[in-house]
Amino acid sequence: MSTKIPPWEKVLWKNQPYPDNYIPEGALESSLRKNPNFKPYTYWPLVHLSIAITQHLATIFIFLSVFVRLKDRSLDPRVLISVSLGCFFVGYFVWEVLQYTQRSGGGSKHGSKRNERVKTLKSSILIFLALMSLSPVLRTLSAATSSDSIWALSACLFLLNILLADYGSSSSVAQVRPERLTSVLSMNAAISSSVVLASRLSSDLAVFALIQFSVQSFTLFPMLRRRLQVPMQALLTFALSISSLILAAPLSSTIAFLFLLVLLAITFLAPAVLVWAQKYKNEIRGPWDVAVPKVN
Which pLDDT does position 175 carry in this prediction?
Answer: 52
CA distance 98 to 86: 18
Cα distances (angstroms) measured from residue 236 to each of 64, 223, 272:
19, 14, 22
Q: Tell me the whole-structure pTM to 2 decimals.
A: 0.81
Q: Which amino acid is at 293?
A: P
Which residue, 240, 158, 154, is CA-closest to 199?
154
End-to-end CA distance of the chain: 51
> What does the chain come to in residues?
296
Relative to beta strand 284-285, strand 33-34 is antiparallel
Query: How do the pLDDT tens digits run along the chain, 296 residues long?
Result: 456 788 888 777 888 888 878 877 776 766 777 777 778 889 999 999 999 999 999 999 999 999 999 999 999 999 999 999 999 899 888 888 887 787 665 555 555 666 766 777 777 778 778 888 888 888 888 777 888 999 999 999 999 999 999 887 665 544 555 667 788 899 999 999 999 999 999 899 999 999 999 999 998 898 888 888 878 889 999 999 999 999 999 999 999 999 999 999 999 999 999 999 988 877 777 766 666 677 76
Contact 167, 52 (CB under 8 A): yes
CA distance 107 to 249: 49
CA distance 257 to 242: 12
CA distance 190 to 37: 37
- Cα atoms found within 13 Å of the Cα of residue 144, Cβ hemisphere only: 0
Contact 169, 234 (CB under 8 A): no
Contact 266, 84 (CB under 8 A): no
CB atoms within 10 A of CB 191: 17
Which pLDDT does position 174 carry in this prediction?
Answer: 47
Contact 160, 186 (CB under 8 A): yes
| DSSP element (H, E) containing 76 | none
| Main-chain phi, psi angles of 199, to 5 degrees | -70, -10
| Main-chain phi, psi angles of 190, to 5 degrees | -65, -45
Which residue, 38, 75, 44, is CA-closest to 205?
75
The most distant pair of C-alpha atoms in the chain lies apart, rounded to whole Å, by: 106
Which pLDDT does position 40 carry in this prediction?
Answer: 84
CA distance 126 to 148: 34
Which pLDDT does position 287 carry in this prediction?
Answer: 65
Which residue, 280, 221, 228, 237, is CA-closest to 91?
221
Cα distances (angstroms) measured from residue 289 to each of 13, 33, 144, 210, 292:
22, 11, 59, 55, 9
CA distance 287 to 18: 19
